[in-house]
Amino acid sequence: MKLILLGPPGAGKGTQAKYLIEDYDIVQLSTGDILRAAIAKKTPLGLKAQEIMAKGDLVSDEIVNAIISERLDDEDCQNGFILDGFPRTIAQADALNAMLDEKNISLDAVIELKVDEDILVKRILNRAKESDQTRADDNEEVIRNRLKVYRELTEPLVEYYSAKGLIKSVDGTMGMEKVRQAIKSALQE
């Protein structure tokens, strides 16, 4: 199963990605996780991404395109993968298309998790409070910016993938298990 998980910050992409890994024996490719790991290790990539991420802006398409292109060649991706947090712009989606064509891979579906903005802000702030790992981008001002960036740059991808007949929209406000089941049924359709 080769999937993209699309949705605003706080929609539950990370949680659902973990379920999808179990349910379909695939790997999660999260550009956010890869970038955070690079920041923790203080690699040149991490140093470049750190300030941009702390503001809730997007790192350059070149950086994330390269991360994903390399990662897709790894052995563990051959059985399938779930792209979580990538693509986030039309330019990234175009780059992904070219990569997939070149690697002879075709996507099965793009899952869109739909959640209202007010719920998202509350969720992210709660996640920040409950988590022992602090994320530099989990305060209200930055969250609002991340949501704006999503609306302006990423949401157009719903239309983009609808036109390709790949979108499966799921209500992300339900409980986590319910969302998991809704995704499974959507993928069976």
Active site residues per annotation: 13, 88, 127, 135, 146
Which residues lie closer than 8 Å to 102 by C-beta, 6 or more apart? none
Please report whether residue 4 would count as binding ligand AMP according to CB under 6 A. Answer: no
The residue with its CB nearest to ligand AMP is: 32
Looking at 21, 27, 39, 52, which residue binds ligand AMP (CB under 6 A)? 52
Decide if 1 contacts 24 (C-beta within 8 A).
Answer: yes
Please report whether residue 8 would count as binding ligand AMP according to CB under 6 A. Answer: no
Residue 14 C-beta: closest distance to ligand AMP, Å: 7
SS3 label, residue 5: strand
On the question of a cis peptide bond just before residue 87, with omega within 30 degrees of 0, the verdict is: yes
Count of residues touching ligand AMP (by CB under 6 A) = 17
Q: What is the 3-state secondary structure (H, E, C) of 155-184?
A: CHHHHHHHHCCCEEEEECCCCHHHHHHHHH
Residue 136 CA to residue 72 CA, distance in Å, equals 28
The single residue listed with the structure tokens 């979108």 is 167
Looking at 24, 81, 82, 146, which residue binds ligand AMP (CB under 6 A)? 146
Select the span of 37-45, 81-89, 114-122, 163-171 touching ligand AMP (CB under 6 A).
Answer: 81-89
Which residues lie closer than 8 Å to 183 by C-beta, 6 or more apart? 16, 19, 20, 111, 168, 170
Looking at 6, 17, 29, 58, which residue binds ligand AMP (CB under 6 A)? 58
Looking at 6, 26, 35, 157, which residue binds ligand AMP (CB under 6 A)? 35
Quick one: 12 or 32, whose CB is closer to ligand AMP? Answer: 32
Which residues contact ligand AMP (rule: CB under 6 A)? Answer: 9, 31-32, 35, 52-53, 56-59, 64, 85-86, 88, 92, 137, 146
